[in-house]
């Protein structure tokens, strides 16, 4: 067998091994686990997208790209990141999986409620001085901003692993 043929076969084997190794490193073992990672990365991307809207004006019923209400902002950020989210804060609360506050990660949602009814949503983006921070579109005359919760009447919801 000519040396060139041996070399081509050896290179093909090396290339196949590199592809297999890359696929192993990229995945976490199973397709389901890999999909979870991809979804988590999309949710992190949604948090970055929401932060890019800081300073955009509030407008009731607006879903972007340059004006938002609270649920319009979260829906816009998730949609741009490739994750579907319903339009209203109440529908978003029903779509997410409720989680303990201590389990929150960037991109999770904070649902504000009164008497059981959800009236506002913000997106968790991290911590400052020991306080949770969210990005949200709060009210007319106030642009999209980064803020700490003003009340303790809220709960956390996630799209990580949710329905």
pTM: 0.77
Return the active site residues.
Answer: 70, 120, 136
Which stretches in the chain have pLDDT values below 50? 14-15, 17-29
Q: Output the pLDDT for position 112.
A: 98
Closest CA to 124 of 141, 146, 109: 109
Q: Domain spans of the chain?
A: 43-158
Closest CA to 109 of 158, 153, 143: 158
Q: Output the pLDDT for position 122.
A: 98
**Cα-based distances in Å from 99 to 1, 30, 116, 136:** 64, 25, 17, 20
pLDDT tens track for 104-148: 999 999 999 998 899 999 999 999 999 999 999 999 999 999 999
Sequence-ordered alpha helix ranges (H) in 27-84: 31-52, 70-80
CB atoms within 10 A of CB 81: 21
Question: Options 3.40.50.1220, 3.40.50.360, 3.40.47.10, 3.90.1720.10; which CATH number does 43-158 get?
Answer: 3.90.1720.10
Q: Output the pLDDT for position 124.
A: 98
């Amino acid at each position: 067998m000519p040396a060139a043929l041996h070399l081509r076969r050896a290179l093909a084997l090396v290339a196949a091994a590199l592809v297999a190794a890359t696929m192993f490193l990229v995945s976490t073992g199973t397709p389901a686990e890999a999909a979870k990672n991809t979804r988590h990365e999309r949710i992190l991307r949604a948090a970055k997208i929401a932060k890019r809207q800081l300073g955009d004006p509030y407008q009731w019923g607006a879903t972007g790209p340059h004006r938002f209400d609270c649920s319009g902002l979260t829906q816009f950020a998730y949609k741009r990141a490739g994750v579907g989210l319903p339009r209203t804060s109440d529908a978003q609360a029903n779509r997410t999986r409720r989680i303990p506050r201590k389990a929150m990660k960037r991109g999770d949602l904070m649902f504000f409620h009164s008497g059981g009814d959800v009236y506002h949503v913000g997106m968790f983006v991290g911590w400052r001085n020991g306080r949770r921070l969210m990005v949200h579109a709060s009210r007319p005359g106030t642009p999209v901003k980064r803020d700490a919760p003003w009340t303790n009447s809220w709960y956390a919801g996630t799209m990580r692993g949710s329905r």
